[in-house]
Amino acid sequence: MARGGMDTQQHFEETGGFRGVVIAREDPRYEDARRVWAGMIDKRPEGILRCRSEADVVEAVRIARRRGLPASVRGGGHHVAGGALVEGGLVIDLSEMRAVRFDPATETAHAEGGARLSDVDAETLPRGRTVPMGVFGDTGIAGLTLGGGYGWQARARGLTCDNLQSARVVTSDARVLVASADQHGDLFWALRGGGTHLGVVTAFEYRTHAMPARVRQLFIAFPMDQAKDVLAGLRALRAEMPDELGAILVFWTFQPSPAIPKELWHRPFVGLVGVDLRPLEQGEETLERLRRLGTVSFDGSRTVPFGLVQQFFDDDYPAGARYYWRSTYLEDLSDSVADVLIDLAARRPSPLSSLDVWLLGGAIARVHPSETPLAHRAAPYLIGIEANWSDPRDDAASLAWGREVRRRLAPHATGGTYINFENPYVEGRDAAVYGDNARRVLAIRSKYDPLGLFAPRP
């Protein structure tokens, strides 16, 4: 596989151990194969090796080493900055490795590296169990876990990485290691939040938790002119919120939908989206207190199976749309922060864009920052800066807005960021994500990938 191109037949002859699908640049499948969820990503890898087994992954790593090509790993392909692809390199594609198995004896879930969040739900929820994961059904579990994993259950049960019990990893020298608390402990530590460039994780083992048949989903919207009162009320209420309540405050715009009254379509709003995992009879008082934060313009709260909660955002974030995301942690929702958020929300260039205030704390903060690579455990708020749009002609305005939000919030922020909402190729990003843990993360990367085969690259 020369840098100028890869002849598919020749490649099969030279790498008889690979039993998956080889997609070279001249292959008619190439254009589709290099597409990922985020439509702005336009990287052209030298080749894509679509694996069907762990043995294929081992052989793919050997091929990359022999050819002297950098490698990236594609799981779900959902990373907003396109981390699944590497320009001019080799993509080790796990998208067909999506098997999930539940072990009733240990109440653990075992998932291949290409599985999506929805694949895990399909195997665990019918058994009354769940793995704490994210908020999009199409999210790949690999990137989610290896970057941390905020989601609806995080305040109650920790991040996705906190529920990882072991992982099978193909390292850059084509070894297969099992990383856990008892084996290769340094690698296991790094995988839980700092593991996106350590190797290829072919399988994850997760702890599961009991999930009731139905939960209370929250969707309470208020007029935008009440945003400051809503923010102040939420700040006062946050300390009393049960850990079982997972919620995001969103500055957004109602999209046309049969579930939304027509008179609200295209109107901006500030609202709470979330889920209460407590028994239904215990959540009513909390729901009423949240409703009293302002004058409710729409209340879509309902009692549903948790699987429907996991699908709530899916239609609003289609594959191929244009996305530019950033993040920052805040210590407080002060009046001055509220003023900045409200002003920026009012100036969103696209009605699809949003500013999201993730309410943290609970089980997230009970893990000491040194226990995993993630350094910002104690922060009470994470701001998701989401520039979302569909028309390429709006690129400049949407990108400018996303960058302005980061700049305007910087004086109020901790300086930290969340890697799953970020571009990992920016210089200095490791320090912002991992804080005091950055040196340890980089040392472990150097140990398991001394040649930098999986090093972050545009």
**Under DSSP, is residue 243 helix (H, G, I), strand (E, B) or coil?**
coil
Number of domains in the chain: 3
Which helix (H) or strand (E) is 407 found in, with range? helix 395-409
Rounded (5°) CA angle 175-201-443: 70
Q: Which whole number is the average pLDDT over 252-278?
A: 96
Smallest Cα–Cα separation from 295: which of 358, 363, 357, 220?
220
Domain holding 388, by residue range, is 215-421
Q: What is the pTM of this model?
A: 0.94
pLDDT above 70 covers what percent of the chain? 96
Tokens 């009423």, residue located: 288
In this predicted model, what pLDDT tens digit does every residue of 44-88 receive, in sequence order? 999 999 999 999 999 999 999 999 999 999 999 999 999 999 999
User: Do both 76 and 109 map to the same domain?
Assistant: no
d(CA 333, CA 230): 11
User: Do both 106 and 224 map to the same domain?
Assistant: no
User: Do both 32 and 113 map to the same domain?
Assistant: no
User: Do both 88 and 110 map to the same domain?
Assistant: no
The residue among 178, 211, 244 that closes a domain is 211
User: Is residue 137, in this structure, part of any structural domain at all?
Assistant: yes
User: Do both 266 and 128 map to the same domain?
Assistant: no
Band of residue 13 on the pLDDT scale cut at 50, 70, 90: very low
Residue 4 pLDDT exceeds 70: no
Question: Residue 52: which CATH number?
Answer: 3.30.43.10
Smallest Cα–Cα separation from 445: which of 454, 436, 437?
454
What local confidence, expressed as pLDDT, does residue 185 receive? 97
Tokens 């291949």, residue located: 112
User: Is residue 13, in this structure, part of any structural domain at all?
Assistant: yes
The residue among 184, 211, 238 that closes a domain is 211
User: Is residue 121, in this structure, part of any structural domain at all?
Assistant: yes
User: Is residue 264, in this structure, part of any structural domain at all?
Assistant: yes
Residue 1 pLDDT exceeds 70: no
Band of residue 427 on the pLDDT scale cut at 50, 70, 90: low
What local confidence, expressed as pLDDT, does residue 358 receive? 97
Residue 2 pLDDT exceeds 50: no
Q: CB within 8 A of 243, min separation 6: which ones?
A: 155, 156, 361, 362, 363
In this predicted model, what pLDDT tens digit does every residue of 375-405 receive, in sequence order? 999 999 999 999 999 999 999 999 999 999 9
User: Do both 401 and 300 map to the same domain?
Assistant: yes
User: Do both 26 and 138 map to the same domain?
Assistant: no
Smallest Cα–Cα separation from 230: which of 291, 178, 307?
291
d(CA 200, CA 171): 7
In this predicted model, what pLDDT tens digit does every residue of 330-366 receive, in sequence order? 999 999 999 999 999 999 999 999 999 999 999 999 9
Residue 7 pLDDT exceeds 60: no
